[in-house]
Amino acid sequence: MSTAQDDLTGRARLRDAAIEAFAAQGFDESLRAIAARAQVTAGLVRHHFGSKQALRAECDATVLERYRRLKEESLRVNPGQVLNHLPTSRESGVLLLYILRSAREGAQAGRQFTEQLINEALALLDQAVSSGLIVPSRNEPARARYLILQSLGALVLYFALYPPKDPEDFSTVVKDYYGQIALPTLELYTEGLFADPGYLNEYLASGTAHIPPAEPAGDTVPR
């Protein structure tokens, strides 16, 4: 007879196998394939989660929690430690591809995951502003939304044009991607792009009505 701890361990193992399966193969991956990855029977997936939809929801929540943890850790350590860890982190590769799959999926599930990702980014940016790591924004929610949408757009386009040879090789995937974007991203975020504030000054002079809202117009996604 299994104990509660055995059930928890089995559930966590299945969840982590599903996260990797969805990251590598997409959300159409079957429960049978996920069970095989976790080295358990397919019946255990339904025993622990009931449905693929419930499994996906738990995977989403876990990925967001791990994303938050990695970002919070990056706020507490020096830049050298962050840069040395990211290019070889298998976990970062799994998260990167999972987020890619969610963004590319679109529809309700993809939109809801993106909104949750934006909320996480906003909370992390608030911490970074408070600690003096980044400068404040005139509209913090709009900045958080732009940064996530910009990052997701680049991610989707990059992997559409240059799909990984082996999506299961998570460490190589993240190493190759960050190798392409690290310098221009850090340069842009640190030193800026325009040599003078002319465009921003003209934009602000046109009136605050043009400052983007925290959320786009249209249908909203429940949180």
DSSP secondary structure of 12-44: HHHHHHHHHHHHHH-TT--HHHHHHHHTS-HHH
Sign of the CA dihedral with 67 first, then 68, 74, and 77 last: negative
Q: Can you give the pLDDT at residue 223?
A: 42
Q: Can you give the pLDDT at residue 2?
A: 44
Class of 56-210 in CATH: mainly alpha
On whether the CB atoms of residues 154 and 181 are closer than 8 A, the answer is yes
The span from the CA of 23 to the CA of 172, in Å, is: 14
Establish how many alpha carbons lie within 13 A of residue 149's alpha carbon, considering only the half-sphere containing its beta carbon. 11
Q: Can you give the pLDDT at residue 209?
A: 54
Sequence-ordered list of residues with C-beta below 8 angstroms from that of 99, at least 6 positions apart, any chain: 63, 67, 113, 117, 152, 155
Q: Can you give the pLDDT at residue 213?
A: 59
Q: Can you give the pLDDT at residue 217?
A: 52
The span from the CA of 167 to the CA of 152, in Å, is: 18
Domain ranges of the chain: 56-210
Tokens describing residue 114: 């993106």
Q: Can you give the pLDDT at residue 5?
A: 43
Q: Can you give the pLDDT at residue 3?
A: 42
Under DSSP, the state recorded for 213 is P
Q: Can you give the pLDDT at residue 222?
A: 45
Predicted TM-score of the model (pTM): 0.79
Per-residue pLDDT of the chain (223 residues; tens, 9 = 90+): 344 444 557 788 899 999 999 999 999 999 999 999 988 888 888 888 989 999 999 999 999 999 888 888 888 877 777 777 665 678 888 998 999 998 888 778 788 889 999 999 999 999 999 999 999 999 999 999 999 999 999 999 999 999 988 988 988 888 889 889 989 999 999 999 999 999 999 888 887 655 665 566 555 544 4
